[in-house]
Amino acid sequence: MLNSREEAFGFWITVLFFYLILKKEGRIAVLKLTKLLLGKKILIIFLIIILYLGLTTIFLNYLQLWNISQAKNTTLWFLTYVFSAISKLISVKNKYSFFKDTFLESFKLVVIVEFLSGVYTFPFVIEIFLLPVVVFLILINLFTETKKEEEYTTIYKFTNKLLILIGIVIIAYSIYKILSNLDTFISKDNLLEFTTPILLTLSFIPFLFFLNIFIAYENTFNRIDRLFINKKLNRNVKLEAIKRFHFKTTWLLRWISHLSILDNPSQNLDLSFKHIKEFQTNIKENKNRIIKLNEGWNPQLAKDFLKEEGIETAYYRKFSEEDYWTALSPQISISKGNFQNNISYYIHGNPEKAFILKLVLHVGDTQNKFETLQEFNRYVNILFFKAIGYQLSKSFSKSLKVTKPKEEFTDLHHIKLEKIQWNGSISNGFTLKFTIRNKKFSELEHYA
Same domain, yes or no: 252 and 339: no
Q: CA nearest 99: which of 219, 196, 206, 200?
A: 206
The pLDDT assigned to 230 comes to: 87
Q: What is the pLDDT of residues 200-222, one digit of tens each?
A: 999 999 999 999 999 999 999 99
> Beta strand 354-363 with 430-438: parallel, antiparallel or unpaired?
antiparallel
Angle (CA) 431 437 440, round 5°: 150
Q: Is 216 within a domain?
A: no
Task: State the pLDDT at residue 384.
Answer: 94
Same structural domain, 277 and 309:
no
Task: Tell me the per-residue pLDDT of 251-284, one tens digit each, with 9 for 90 and over.
Answer: 898 888 888 877 788 888 888 888 787 776 666 5
Pick from 288, 303, 324: which residue ends a domain? 288
What is the tens place of the pLDDT at every residue in 325-337? 889 998 888 865 5
Same domain, 95 and 239: no
What's the Cα-to-Cα distance from 368 to each of 7, 332, 339, 345, 359, rounded to whole Å? 43, 15, 10, 21, 19
The predicted structure's pLDDT at residue 150: 65
Domain count along the chain: 3
221: in domain:
no
For residue 363, being part of any structural domain is answered with: yes
Q: Is the model's pLDDT at 448 over the cut of 70?
A: no
Burial class (CB in 10 A: 0-12, 13-18, 19+), 62: exposed
Q: Are residues 390 and 416 in the same domain?
A: yes
pTM: 0.67
Q: In terms of DSSP bridges, do strands 430-438 and 406-409 run parallel, antiparallel, or are they unpaired?
A: unpaired
How many residues are there in the chain? Answer: 448
- In 10 A of CB 259, how many CB atoms? 23
Q: Which of 188-192, 235-239, 323-327 has the lowest mean pLDDT?
A: 188-192
Amino acid residing at 222: N
Range of 335's domain?
293-447
Whether 66 is in a domain gets the answer yes
- Whether 421 maps to a domain, the answer reads yes
Quick check: is 134 in a domain?
yes
Q: Each residue of 148-177: pLDDT tens digit?
A: 566 777 888 888 888 888 878 887 877 787
pLDDT at 419 (0 to 100): 93
Cα dist from 198 to 74, 105, 115, 264, 389, whole Å: 11, 9, 11, 50, 46
Q: Are residues 306 and 281 in the same domain?
A: no
- Within-domain flag for 133: yes
User: Are 278 and 300 in a shared domain?
Assistant: no
Whether 236 is covered by a domain: the verdict is yes
Average pLDDT over residues 343-350: 93
Residue 348 has pLDDT above 60, yes or no: yes
Same domain, 189 and 314: no
Q: 290 near 301, Cβ under 8 Å?
A: no
Residues 91 and 197 in one domain: yes
Q: In terms of domains, do 190 and 256 share one? A: no
DSSP labels, 148-217:
-SHHHHHHHHHHHHHHHHHHHHHHHHHHHHHHHTHHHHSSHHHHHHHHHHHHHHHHHHHHHHHHHHHHHH
